[in-house]
Amino acid sequence: MMLCPIQTPAETRPRITYNIPTTQTEGSDEIERFLTALKENRFVPFVPTDEAHPLSPAWKRLEALYDLEENWNGYDVPAPNPDAIEHAKAWLQDLYLETKAKGQQWLAPHVAANEEGAVAFEWAKGKKRLVVYIGPEDAWYVKAWGPSVLTEMTDGEAETTEERLALWSWLLEP
Amino acid sequence: MPDDAEVREDSVGNEETLYRSIWLRKECFFLDEEGVLRVSAEAFADRNKQPSVFRKHLCDEPPYSNPPRLSPDDAVVSLIAGKIREASPIQHQSGKNPVVSHVIDIKPDTSGGQHRSHAVVYADPDFPNSNAFAKLKLRLAQLVEDWAIQPEADFIEQLKIMAGLNHPAR
C-alpha cells in the first residue's frame, strides 16, 4: 500500500469529507473509499467530528498553527507555512492509518513549527525523542535515544510508508 | 558554579548556568506519555539558528529579573554551558555532499543593545539548513537541567486537556 504525500495545491484539491473509522468493522467501506481516493491522487481530509477520535487533539493543534504569527515564540521565527500545515495533515493521517493497519498503539504528537515554518511533530517516550518535520513538499526526522549526538542521534527522511513505520516501531519498542 | 565566582564577560565558562526564557505557548511545552512536562525542541527555534541564552552570573536577580525572564509569564529553564559544548561535533550531510562537522559553542553577544548577560549557542561552521539545526535543538531540549521558573499550574492543566492524555487508538 502506497500512501503518497499529496502534492496538489490545497485550493485545487477536491474536498472529500472523510471520517477516519474508529473500529475495524464499521470502517471497511470507509477505508476502501479512502484508498480509492488516494489511488486517484485526491486529497481526503479528515474531519474531526468525533472529539474522542485519537487524531482530534493533534488536529486541533494543527489548526491552531494557522493562528500563529511571525515571532510566535519570541525569537523572531516566521509564521508556520500554510502549505506545510496541509501537508502535515495528510502525513499524520497516513501515519495513523498505517499504524492502525499494523495494530500498533497510537501516541498523539506534540505539534509545533520550526524556524522555517515547517510543522514539527514531537514524541517523547522514555529516553527516546522523535521529531518529524513536515515542509510543504518534504518530511524528515531527527531522533535521539541517549546523550551522545554522535552515536545516539540520527536523522533522515520520513516520506514513505516504510520510513514512517520504521520510525513508529522504533518509538514504540521497549 | 559558586555564586561568588568571578565571571569573565568576554567568554562563557563551562560551569556557567545559562537560562532560556520560553514564552508560555502550548507549542513550546508538552506532556510525555507519563505526564512529565517537557520542553519542546522548538522552544529553541531561532531564525538565525543561534538560540539565545542568558548567563546567570551576569543577570541582576535571576531567574525573575529581566533578563533572563523576558516577559512576566515566561517559563525559564536552565542549562550548563559545558554540557552544551559536549554536543560537539554535530555532523550533517546535505544530499550527496561530504559530511560536515559543526563545533558547538557559546559566545557572549551584546550586539544590538543586548544585555551584558546575553549569549548565543552557535555552530562553527554555521548550520546550512534547518535539518542540521534540528539536532542542536533536540540536544538542547534533552539538556534542560531544571526549571528555574515552571509554567503556571493553569497552563499545565490546559496542556493535559489538549493532549487528550495520549489514549491508545481504539
Taking only the tens place, the pLDDT of each residue in B6-25 is 788 899 999 999 999 999 99
Using a pLDDT cut of 70, give the percent of chain A over it: 72
Give the pLDDT of residue B44. Answer: 98
pLDDT classification of A40: cutoffs 50, 70, 90: low
pLDDT classification of A34: cutoffs 50, 70, 90: low
pLDDT classification of B160: cutoffs 50, 70, 90: confident
Interface probe for A, chosen from B23, B32, B42 (most Cβ of A below 10 Å), is B42
Q: Is residue B9 part of a domain?
A: no
Contact A131, B136 (CB under 8 A): no
Supply the range of the domain harboring residue B146: 17-166
pLDDT classification of A47: cutoffs 50, 70, 90: low
Using a pLDDT cut of 90, give the percent of chain B over it: 81
Q: Is residue B154 part of a domain?
A: yes
Give the pLDDT of residue B33. Answer: 82
Helix axes of A56-65 and A82-101: crossing angle, nearest 10 degrees: 170
Looking at CA atoms only, how far is residue B162 from chain A in angstroms?
6
Using a pLDDT cut of 70, give the percent of chain B over it: 92
B167 → closest Cβ in A54, A73, A122: A54
Average pLDDT over residues B94-123: 96
- Asked if B142 lies within 8 A of A147 by C-beta distance, the reply is yes
Q: Is residue B8 part of a domain?
A: no
B90 → closest Cβ in A75, A76, A149: A149
- Model confidence at A67: pLDDT above 50: yes
Give the pLDDT of residue A42. Answer: 54
Overall pTM > 0.80 = yes
Q: Is residue B54 part of a domain?
A: yes
Q: Is residue B85 part of a domain?
A: yes
Average pLDDT over residues A126-138: 97
- Asked if A115 lies within 8 A of B162 by C-beta distance, the reply is no
Q: Is residue B78 part of a domain?
A: yes
The sheet carrying B146-149 orders its strands as: B90-92, B100-108, B118-124, B52-55, B17-22, B75-80, B146-149
Q: Is residue B120 part of a domain?
A: yes
Give the pLDDT of residue A13. Answer: 40
Q: Which set of grid coordinates corresponds to residue B4?
A: 561568588
- Model confidence at A133: pLDDT above 50: yes
- Asked if A99 lies within 8 A of B169 by C-beta distance, the reply is yes
B169 → closest Cβ in A54, A120, A153: A54
Number of domains in chain B: 1
Nearest to B77 by CA among B28, B15, B148, B23: B148
- Tell me how many helices (H) and strands (E) chain A has: 4, 5
Contact A35, A27 (CB under 8 A): no
Q: Is residue B48 part of a domain?
A: yes
- Asked if B131 lies within 8 A of A155 by C-beta distance, the reply is yes
**Torsion angle in degrees (nearest 10) through CA of B50, B44, A91, A156:** 50
